[in-house]
Amino acid sequence: MGTYRTTRHPDQPDVAVVGGGIGGLSAAFAVARKGLRVRVLERAQEFGEVGAGMQIAPNCTRILHEYGLLDEASKLGVRPENMVMKDAVDGGELTRLDLHDLEREYGFPYLVIHRSDLHGIFLRACERIGVDLVTNQKAVGFESGDRGAEVTFEDGHVETPGVVIAADGLHSVARELLVDDEPVNSAYVAYRRAMPIEQARDLDISEKDVVVYVGPRCHFVQYPLRDGQMFNQVAVFESPKALAGEEDWGTPDELDSAFEGTCEQVRQGIPLMWRDRWWRMFDRDPIMSWVHGRIALLGDAAHPPLQYMAQGAIMAIEDGWVLAKHVERQLADGADVADLDWDVALAAYNAVRPEHCRRVLITGRLWGKLWHHDGVKRLQRNAILRARDTYDYGFTEWIYGPTALTPEEEPEMYPVIPLDSVNVGQEASRTAP
């Protein structure tokens, strides 16, 4: 993505962001827009993002629009027509979202985009606005003082900004200031592949929709990327080796076994997955405080989720937007950048974001269980999903609406429909194992 300094500028910034992923760069851009001097310190030798496709819901495209970045994201991504959920065993449709109507409902589109493209959008935005971008900087220690914070790096140098935003990921060093915990192993693993669309056209695919097949202990996702020139696939399954406590788990032989009982559309796509890499799925239990003095956690450092809600990067982008809005409120009241009351801004951030992200993390875990049911529970789930009206947004209002700036603005959660409220009768008796 370009060449950046590997040594720091002698002047200290107002804000230091530790971590140059999507969350760190978007937060740096959000705060720099308010007139603050911002430095991003990335541990890798260059800025970049690994992975394949990702989904961006209206609660994020709303923010991209405010940042002036939505047009660029739309050109690099795809606006799908529908999100369709199907049963991975029989291939039957369960429910769908009309994404054009969803845009009408929420005012902003649903996009799919390559992770590296979204990362590049924020990297270029940071360059344009003058964010100081530094690579090869591994943080090893964090400390907060009365008037600022300190970050110590592996090379021995120390940054002393007014505030530190710790966007240092799932294995965050800064998180240790707030809680003694470890990542939680879900025993699920993800395989991915982003390929030229021509390599997938012989399959039974939709080139205009996001399609999610949900099945017993597995699911499979497909959608187009890069203006329809590429096609993205994600295959996720529970690893028997992980459940057995083996170290070498999530291997390609398990991938093949996990999808043996699925419908033809899914089985056709499995041989196309990358087989030289896979992503073991971890999250962490929610924590309700992200701020330690002048150090604030952000993104996966604060709330690493399982992927079922497709909100991981979105939550990180929202984090930076919310923090910047609380900085902006002080500036609007006449404060100078030098006179910002960071205690007030960080307290306001900490009052609203942990609860929202707790909801997303817990819902992600529950959603994963719902997707992966077998037997009678699978049939009950299917009946509930098929009964949903395409244009019923009662299950999305809490997540796709405007991002809350205060606890009072946080909407009510979605309605809960217990599986055992559905009687699937004789069909369950015939089909259940």
* pLDDT (tens digit per residue) in 120-156: 999 999 999 999 999 999 999 999 988 899 999 999 9
Name which of 20, 23, 110, 124 is nearest 69 in CA terms.
124
User: What mean pLDDT do residues 397-417 have?
Assistant: 96
User: What mean pLDDT do residues 254-283 have?
Assistant: 97
Rounded Cα distance between 365 and 361, Å, is: 6
How much of the chain, in percent, has pLDDT values that exceed 90?
90
Q: How confident is the model at residue 4 (pLDDT cuts 50, 70, 90)?
A: low
User: What mean pLDDT do residues 379-388 have?
Assistant: 98
191 is an active site residue:
no
Rounded Cα distance between 379 and 425, Å, is: 10
Q: Give me the half-sphere count of Cα atoms (radius 13 Å) on the Cβ side of residue 320.
A: 34
| pLDDT of 174 above 90 | yes
Residue 431 has what pLDDT?
47
Burial class (CB in 10 A: 0-12, 13-18, 19+), 310: buried
| pLDDT of 263 above 70 | yes
Rounded Cα distance between 118 and 130, Å, is: 19
User: What mean pLDDT do residues 256-285 have?
Assistant: 97
Residue 338 has what pLDDT?
83
Name which of 367, 339, 374 is nearest 283 in CA terms.
367
| pLDDT of 5 above 80 | no
Rounded Cα distance between 199 and 142, Å, is: 47
Residue 147 has what pLDDT?
82
Rounded Cα distance between 169 and 167, Å, is: 6
User: What mean pLDDT do residues 342-371 have?
Assistant: 98
Rounded Cα distance between 229 and 212, Å, is: 20
| pLDDT of 318 above 80 | yes
pLDDT, greater one: 217 or 331: 217
Residue 429 has what pLDDT?
43
Residue 339 has what pLDDT?
85
Could you tell me the CATH superfamily of domain 15-79+115-182+285-369? Answer: FAD/NAD(P)-binding domain (3.50.50.60)
Name which of 368, 354, 369, 352 is nearest 408 in CA terms.
352
End-to-end CA distance of the chain: 52
Amino acid at the residue 44:
A
Contact 16/164 with Cβ under 8 angstroms? Answer: yes
Contact 5/46 with Cβ under 8 angstroms? Answer: no
pLDDT, greater one: 2 or 130: 130
Could you tell me which residues come within 8 angstroms of residue 277 by beta carbon, excluding any fewer than 6 positions away? none
Residue 1 has what pLDDT?
41
Rounded Cα distance between 316 and 47, Å, is: 17
Rounded Cα distance between 321 and 343, Å, is: 17
How much of the chain, in percent, has pLDDT values that exceed 70?
96
User: Taking the mean position of all CA atoms in its chain, how far away is CA 170?
Assistant: 12
Render pLDDT for 50-78 as a digit per residue (tens, 0 to 9).
778 999 999 999 999 999 999 999 999 99
Q: Which entry of 67, 188, 223, 400 is annotated as an active-site residue?
A: 223
Paired sense of beta strands 218-225 and 230-238, if any: antiparallel
Contact 305/190 with Cβ under 8 angstroms? Answer: no
User: What mean pLDDT do residues 152-161 have?
Assistant: 96
Contact 271/255 with Cβ under 8 angstroms? Answer: no
Sheet holding 132-134, edge to edge: 132-134, 38-41, 15-18, 163-166, 295-297, 291-292
Task: Look up residue 11 and give its DSSP letter.
Answer: S
Residue 11 has what pLDDT?
84
Mean pLDDT in the chain? 94
Domain ranges of the chain: 15-79+115-182+285-369
- The pair of three-digit structure tokens given for residue 270, joined into one six-digit string: 């499995």
Question: Radius of gyration (Cα) for the chain, nearest Å?
Answer: 22
Render pLDDT for 414-428 as a digit per residue (tens, 0 to 9).
999 999 999 997 454
- The pair of three-digit structure tokens given for residue 430, joined into one six-digit string: 């015939």
